[in-house]
Amino acid sequence: MTPAGPSATATAGPRLVEGRGELSGAVAAALRHGGPPVYAAAAVLKADPWGEDLQLALYLLYELHYRGFDGVDDEREWDPDLLRLRQSLETRFLHALRTELPDAPRSVEEAFAPLLVEPADPSGGVSRLLETEGRRWQLREYAALRSLYHLKEADPHAWVIPRLTGRAKAAMVAIEYDEFGAGRAERIHARLFADLMADLELDAAYGRYLDCAPAPLLATVNLMSLFGLHRALRGALVGHFACVEVTSSPGSRRMAKAMRRVGAGPAAEHFYAEHVEADAVHEQVVRHEVIAGLLADEPGLEADVAFGCAATVLLEDRLAIHILEAWDRGCSALHSPLPGP
């Protein structure tokens, strides 16, 4: 590794967690002590692409492109040994996604049509359960899990901006402007979520609950980082972003009711109430301006946009199954226990 120069700094980022297997352990050790990650080449080929070890390893490597980790040199972001491992893990993850979606939609219309009409009986969803019978401890768990994305909300999608042109770029920037508070720091959506966490007596420090996050949650965040960091996957990132915006408003309405029902507090309710209105508008803009503008410029990306949507639905469904099955057993859905208030 190149020695740290004068510009290399140790950032005050989140705490670096322990690994959950050979690969994530190798990444954690490399970041903590310096030097390359030490692992057997066969470990990548044998790793479960949906498992705790691979997904945590990917998350740790991706986080170097966001805020890094406390005590880890910023120069490690472009360490060739870490990038080489990241590429291998990404290949496994992408292959697993495509294998799970052999009949993925090839057109935008086919991908988004099912999402534009809310299911007549969406009782199996997490937000439906929380709206009608969720308990405060379940809302706290859900907020802790989602904090890994919501405390950097919209950041992964910002990577697509320099990869767009004209109509698509203008519309994407308009949506992101709203996500980042429309010029007001206190209205940045990540800040609103931090306020929600305070209402629920959770620690709002960035990355605080990484240790608590199971693989299905890590995969949802890794997906947008994977799409965002690769120009070749710009269409998939637009598909992911559109899927999130299209499905956000109904779920946010239910979550606002859930927060109100348990008396979670005004900030907890406000975060979701804000998304009901904002994302209903964003849905129209992203479909009719961002996607339409992108495909007018690059029609060959339509299958990628559809794949990004389908992959998002797949991973959100896997996460919902994980959460609901755990709660149905009366168990925590977290990888490790959530500290009490």
Name the amino acid, one letter, at 5. Answer: G
Backbone angles phi and psi of 20, in degrees to 5 = -120, 20
My answer on whether 205 and 274 are in the same domain is: yes
Per-residue pLDDT tens for 195-204? 999 999 999 9
pLDDT at 32: 96
Name all contacts of 295-304 with Cβ < 8 Å and 24+ positions apart. Answer: 295/108, 296/167, 296/168, 297/165, 297/166, 297/167, 297/168, 298/235, 301/234, 301/235, 301/238, 302/106, 302/107, 302/108, 302/235, 303/106, 303/107, 303/235, 304/233, 304/234, 304/235, 304/236, 304/239
My answer on whether 84 and 124 are in the same domain is: no
Other beta carbons less than 10 A from residue 178's beta carbon:
17
| Alpha-carbon gap, residue 281 to 321, rounded angstroms | 29
C-alpha distances out from residue 210 to 50, 106, 158, 216, Å: 17, 34, 22, 13
My answer on whether 96 and 112 are in the same domain is: no
Q: Compute the radius of gyration of the chain from its Cα atoms.
A: 20
Which of 131-140, 174-183, 276-285, 287-296 bottoms out in mean pLDDT, i.e. has the lowest? 276-285
122 pLDDT tier (thresholds 50, 70, 90) = very low
My answer on whether 197 and 304 are in the same domain is: yes
Select from 38, 67, 100 the last residue of a domain.
100
Give the position of tokens 């049509």. 113
pLDDT at 254: 94
Other beta carbons less than 10 A from residue 3's beta carbon:
8
Is there a contact between 93 and 49 (Cβ–Cβ < 8 Å)?
Answer: yes
SS3 content of the chain, % helix, strand, coil (to 5): 70, 0, 30
| Alpha-carbon gap, residue 242 to 239, rounded angstroms | 5
SS3 state at 5: coil
C-alpha distances out from residue 83 to 15, 36, 229, 266, 313, Å: 21, 10, 12, 43, 28
pLDDT at 222: 98
Q: Tell me which residue range forms the domain holding 248.
A: 108-328
Is there a contact between 188 and 150 (Cβ–Cβ < 8 Å)?
Answer: no
In a domain, 258, yes or no: yes
In a domain, 281, yes or no: yes
Select from 100, 116, 139 the last residue of a domain.
100
Angle between helices 215-228 and 52-63 (to 10 degrees): 40
Per-residue pLDDT tens for 106-116? 999 999 998 88
| Alpha-carbon gap, residue 302 to 292, rounded angstroms | 10
**Number of folded domains that form the chain:** 2
Is there a contact between 20 and 76 (Cβ–Cβ < 8 Å)?
Answer: no
Is there a contact between 59 and 145 (Cβ–Cβ < 8 Å)?
Answer: no
Comparison of pLDDT for 248 and 1, the residue scoring more: 248
Average pLDDT, whole number, for the chain?
A: 92
pLDDT at 3: 41
pLDDT at 281: 80
In a domain, 84, yes or no: yes
Per-residue pLDDT tens for 264-320? 999 999 999 988 877 678 888 999 999 999 999 999 999 999 999 999 999 999 999
My answer on whether 160 and 259 are in the same domain is: yes
What is the secondary structure of 44-63 as a DSSP string? HHHS-TTSHHHHHHHHHHHH
In a domain, 224, yes or no: yes
Which of 55-64, 163-172, 249-258, 306-315 bottoms out in mean pLDDT, i.e. has the lowest? 249-258
pLDDT at 116: 81
1 pLDDT tier (thresholds 50, 70, 90) = very low
Select from 81, 100, 119 the last residue of a domain.
100
| Alpha-carbon gap, residue 207 to 283, rounded angstroms | 28
Which CATH number does the domain housing residue 153 bear? 1.20.910.10
